[in-house]
Structure 1
Amino acid sequence: MTARMTTTTAPSARLSAPASVAELERLLTTPSPALVEDMAARTGDLVILGAGGKMGPSLTVLARRALDAAGRSGDAVHAVSRWSDAAQADTLRDAGVDVVTADLMGPDADLSALPDAADVVYMVGAKFGTTSAPSLAWAANAALVHDVARRYADSTIAAFSTGNVYPLVPVGSGGCAEDHPVGPVGEYAMSCLGRERLFEHVALTRGTKVATVRLNYAVDLRYGVLFDVASPILAGEPVDVTTGHVNVVWQGYANEVALRALGHASAPATAINLTGPETASVRRLATQLGAALGREVSFTGTESPTALLNDASRCHELFGYPQVPLRTLVEWQAAWLAAGLPTSGKPTKFAVRDGKF
């Protein structure tokens, strides 16, 4: 795994591997001093739309704790979702979050009933199953943005996007920086670019401050690329290295960047690539995971000369390097799986090359 940037920051104290879901959640939801400082510079309530997804609950609790630490206990964090998991909603309530139940795509959706807020984090989206239902991809990833952007035209918005808006690029290129021409592959990726374009439009026409955060593969231990690479090893199956290189990043860092990106939103909108500093070799990741798990590793396929890769140099310049480095994430992932701790069963499908999800 080779780093894109030659400069480094001093390493922080080594964190212990989380040995339970509670310890993992604590790591994901403990704000850094930098996040607290950034939140202290802002005012008003925060709305998180689509807060019930994979990243939403931990980001929401992180936001609540950051606001409290910043002396903003009087500013609310509103978490909006359908909340199919009632226990998840209860956990957020216990953390001091205002839980709002709303189906934003429902036939009777009334966005005017959503809470007002100075800041909005937009996490709504659809990926898996959109090949068989492409209209869903466009409805969830693009059309809904029109209504949300009008509802929160006077707010500052940090909107999650994806590195899929870029084309596949040579693995030695260092990945696509924010000024690289977009080239989405497949309707999912095209609909995500549509989401960005609609946010860009409201920024241009209404002056709404927007930051679009192009994320490549957060690692939570319960899911993520490292789990996907380890799964065939545990099953005694070969690891496919056709997609031979990938970007990953600790989810705690991804959550923080999404919140801190509010301070860098602008009109016209700005894009921020969000991932780790390495172009990681899938073969090497598998070898390291196999060694840590005490399992033999075999491979199938031949590494393609191209992959979906982001250059997040600007992100690291703005927010610093991820506090959990890749080698530590590999160790944590192996320890998590060896201990039989819970997993989500939600693959990233990072190896998909034709854009069909």
Structure 2
Amino acid sequence: MTSVVASPYDRKDVHVTVQAFAGEAELEDVLTTPSDALVADLAQGSGDLVILGAGGKMGPTLAVLARRGMDAAGRGSDQVHAVSRFGDGAVRDRLEAAGVRVVSFDLIENDDFSALPDAPNVVFMVGAKFGASTAPSWAWEVNAALPDRVARRYRDSAIAVMSTGNVYPFVTAASGGASEDVAPAPIGEYAQSCLGRERVFEFGAQERGTRVSIIRLNYAIDLRYGVLADIASAVHAGQPVSVATATVNVVWQGYANEVVLRSIAHASSDVFTVNLTGPEILSVAAVARRFGELLGRDVDLIDEPQPTALLNDSRRCMALFGYPSVAADTLIALQAAWVEAGHPMSAKPTKWAVRDGRF
């Protein structure tokens, strides 16, 4: 592997090695290698884990990470159940090869959830974002109505609920980002329906005593997709980069998956909420210029920078779970190396720069 410049923020007590990846197999191996902290937390738990929506962008690596982490924690007899429609057979095969139990199930088409596996631990990852502006009823069905059925089915479980920083108002970079104490002010049908998701699970916690953790994410970096992949791909292709949204948060997906799993131990009927992102607030212009340097490209910055953006204050996350294993400047170098090598991309843009809530 080709070495890249390491960040002074990179911790030495975690498994991630700061080097360019040879390809998807190596990337996924690193993304799914559990840290000592995750193994220690999992060793304190027990019982099966159900991951709903496991076929999405984060789900497959989270499921394999959970399996490897539980094995390392001496919980080989506890099952990891990955629930999804699994339209991609390759994803299903990869999960089964890793020891994950695959459950093909359409959560929208099926009204009866009794066939879903019982488990004391649940991760809810189902969501609808793109197309929410043109089919808002679909977004509300997936993001707000479905959670009620899930909350009732798993009322006696601890449920980690994936949410989004989009529920917050736009804030200035000088604010340090919106903390968990900032009142939600979602813009657009997608963000509003995501707040609806949170409220439905909160209702289950209040009325039935279900233990819930809510994770508000901005934005996971996998190298095959994400904010950095979007910017790097544009720079590499000689396309302009808009800096209207002038700042952004990102976080390594390996760390993000670990926080999701570790948050289960914090689930409570009082509802535990945590912002999940990296500690840095990045200048989009500076990131684009750095990609230009690494990729040997001229950079065309367009549009007038606006004073606010969707930014999360992740201090609670850092205090509870430690700092990400890969810092932002290293992620930028890794992303540049990935794009330059021509490794596979997901072709799923994040639309992170959208400012009117229309996705």
* TM-score category, normalised to shorter length: over 0.9
Q: How does 1:176-195 map to 2 (within 5 A)?
A: 176-195=178-197
Counterpart AA for 1:335: A
In 2: Cα distance, 1:32 partner to 1:338 partner: 29
Q: What residue is the counterpart of 1:43 in the other structure?
A: 46
Q: What residue is the counterpart of 1:211 in the other structure?
A: 213
Q: How does 1:97-136 map to 2 (within 5 A)?
A: 97-106=100-109, 108-136=110-138
Counterpart AA for 2:61: S
1:191: how far off?
0.2
> Structure 2, unaligned stretches of length 5 or more?
1-8
CA contact (8 A) 1:102 1:109 kept: no
CA contact (8 A) 1:103 1:109 kept: no
- Determine whether 1:24 maps to 2:27: yes
Bigger mean CA deviation after superposition, 166-175 or 116-125? 166-175
In 1: Cα distance, 2:201 partner to 2:79 partner: 24
Deviation per CA, 1:217-237: give whole Å up to 9, x if none: 100000000111112212212
> Structure 1, unaligned stretches of length 5 or more?
1-7
CA contact (8 A) 2:51 2:63 kept: yes
Deviation per CA, 1:287-319: give whole Å up to 9, x if none: 111100011112101210000000010000000
Q: What residue is the counterpart of 1:3 in the other structure?
A: none
Out of 70, 74, 77, which is 2:73 matched to? 70
Q: What residue is the counterpart of 2:155 in the other structure?
A: 153
1:10: how far off?
5.4
In 1: Cα distance, 2:127 partner to 2:10 partner: 34
Q: What residue is the counterpart of 2:241 in the other structure?
A: 239
In 2: Cα distance, 1:277 partner to 1:207 partner: 33
CA contact (8 A) 2:10 2:325 kept: no
Q: What residue is the counterpart of 2:4 in the other structure?
A: none
Deviation per CA, 1:1-42: give whole Å up to 9, x if none: xxxxxxx78555752221210110011000000000000100
1:286: how far off?
0.4
1:69: how far off?
0.3
Change (3 A) 1:146 1:10: closer
Out of 304, 307, 326, which is 1:324 matched to? 326
In 1: Cα distance, 2:72 partner to 2:339 partner: 33
Q: How many residues align?
A: 349
- Determine whether 1:315 maps to 2:354: no
Query: Cα RMSD between the aligned structures?
Result: 1.1
Deviation per CA, 1:24-83: give whole Å up to 9, x if none: 001100000000000010010000000000000000000000000000000000000000
Moved over 4 A (4+): 8-14
In 2: Cα distance, 1:204 partner to 1:326 partner: 38
Identity, in percent, stands at 61
CA contact (8 A) 1:165 1:184 kept: yes
Counterpart AA for 1:183: A
CA contact (8 A) 2:233 2:339 kept: no
**TM-score between both structures, scaled by the size of structure 1:** 0.96
In 1: Cα distance, 2:326 partner to 2:240 partner: 28
Q: What residue is the counterpart of 1:5 in the other structure?
A: none
1:109: how far off?
3.5
Out of 318, 335, 338, which is 2:337 matched to? 335
CA contact (8 A) 1:247 1:276 kept: yes
CA contact (8 A) 1:78 1:115 kept: yes
Counterpart AA for 1:226: L
Q: What residue is the counterpart of 1:4 in the other structure?
A: none
SS at 2:63 equivalent: helix
